[in-house]
Structure 1
Amino acid sequence: MIVVPPAIQRIPWKLIALLTAIVGFGILVLYSAAGGNWSPWASQQSLRFVVFLTIALVIGRFPLRVFEEHAYLAYIGVVVLLVAVEVLGFVGGGSQRWLNLGFMNLQPSELMKVAIVLALARFYALLPPGNNRSWTALWPALVMIGIPVAMVMLQPDLGTALSICIGGIVVMFVAGLPFWWFGGTVIAGAAALPVLFSFLHDYQQKRILIFLDPESDPLGAGYHISQSKIAIGSGGIGGKGFLNGSQSHLDYLPEGHTDFIFSTMAEEWGLIGGLALMFGFFLLLRWGTRVALKARTRFGQLTATGLTMTIFFYIAVNLMMVMGLAPVVGIPLPLFSYGGSSMLTIMTCVGIILAIENDSKTGTRRFH
């Protein structure tokens, strides 16, 4: 009888297999998008995955109290990085969002998606029972969300700002704040849409208008969406076959290796490939949801829920964007699109959720 060492048993092999399958599929698409070459995207994505998966597994071994005790510090640290972007960051694609670290370009606003969830989960975990319906449960959270959102909007990056808002709002909702607060905010936001629209940059306004009528400028602002729909539709049920995509290979599809990588995949792998990918994401989100439900502390429950919804927001917005169901906001497809900051953010989420899962196995449930 073979005795498996406890250290080997503790390794989450099923989770590793799932992540490897999603990323591996993405690497195949990147290989094809480069015309059948590992360089420049597939090889770098492979290396990043190995490094970030290792980081996620290491994070998963940390006691949950480490994240709880340092949640505010992490938030402040990322705010400092956002300030550094304004001072030292370089401009790419018309936006100033990145810090050059040498081995990779870091987008601090991506890390804020994790930091805001940790900070708000810490805040509501410390909030005395019964106080979640008072003003003291609302204004600190709004300040913590508002500071990074304002800084990210200066870059400008509407998509990431919305992601930060969603992560924070989910934590507030799960923490038990009155439902009418959220309903009132939605109504007020809808009424203020014309004013908010006027504050957007010209290109952001054009993206929204093109979303409402993509055929009004098919060779200009509506080019991305039009070519994306052509690529997805031309794939049919089974796709054109690996390395046989025309939209990406002939450079009709912009950003076919980043924001619109799903369109590149759908052209070659068809509906079957798309459903397989979405099933993989479903399994990942189901795992995160189960961890949230089984969390033994309030902090763990709020954090797991917020991080799982952060991953879901990535997936939902990107898929809606490439299908023309949402404006183009520059949100990559998690674990699939080429990019270091996005993968680092998602793998950090996975690592923290894994730490919460390990914590739930070590003791009894306790909530304030």
Structure 2
Amino acid sequence: MNPAEQLVSGPRGRDLLLNLEDDTGPSGPLNLFHRAATTLDVESGVGTIYFPSSSPSPGKPVSHDCSAGGRLPDVVDVGDIAAAFRDVELAEITWPVLRDALACSVDNAAYWQEPYGAQILAAAPEMRGPLLRIAGELTDSPLMDVLTAPFDPERQWTLSVRGYTALTSGVGKRLTAERDGLIAREAAAAATFDPEKEVSGIWWSSPMGAPATTAPLPDGAPSALWFEEDSFDLGPRETRRIDVPGDARILEITGADSWADLCRRFPVEVTRQRYHDWHRTTGRRGRWVIPDWAAVAEHHDAVHLTHLGYLAAAGRAIDVDAGTASVIAGWNPGETYWLTDVEVGDPVRWSWDEDGRIWARD
């Protein structure tokens, strides 16, 4: 796929593209889109959505409190929404616009529940053309270099938040213990596993116990300050620079294909542990695997997920082989997980500047 097609292929990428459209007037396409999307929200209500040229919506009929946005139509024509997006004039894509759009997309990631109505609507076939148009504007921008940037060995920073400090030694033992625990829990769950149960559990696929780093963005702040899945607050953060060895073996994840290849090379089954959450978020039923990070560590020192790779692949069912799939969940865009011990420098503290709406060094 070219970069524009990659952006449209993933739920996080589609969300980003919608956030780049800033016509928020009462009759604008974004307002129309979100009013329609509420008919698909699974959290409350009653309503339906009509796909005139495709199969009926997979979403549950629900309603929504529309007191802030006017009366919600009972039936929505996706073609009308797509036409509105095709005709709208796009705003200039500046770094703050792109950064905030990506931050919003990351905030919307939730891999333990059904997709939001906006995510279902954005995936409709009728929306592909309009979203490709917005993606084309982005891929023609010099800012696309930020999204496609490979691992930068000169500028890698850990992040500590909410009193948690990444453990940077003993990584190999923790990865092995985590892998052995996965295998044991998978076997133990065999007697009680029921695919029809509405339960939740562990939903991430990142290497637990491994330190993570990110590189600075154009505004100077490491990207983990801006882009954090399942984030809670804007409290003070602390970053520490790491010294990357010159011979470090870095594996780049640039999209679904490279993640699938990693899972084929080093699979560990997590079907009974991930099935319910990942079925809800992707709609897929079947066998699930994630990378065996202890095994990966024998061949690679770190794994870097590019921003574009995240946008293209995070949160979707990625086919690994016949009958088997995986999900990138619990990662942040531009993040590198270290599968070996790392050395860290002195702390640099950051606080949220509410007036400037930026992260500033203390």
**Same-fold status (TM-score > 0.5):** no
TM-score scaled by length of structure 1:
0.27
TM-score scaled by length of structure 2:
0.27
The structure with the largest helix share of the pair is 1
The structure with the largest strand share of the pair is 2
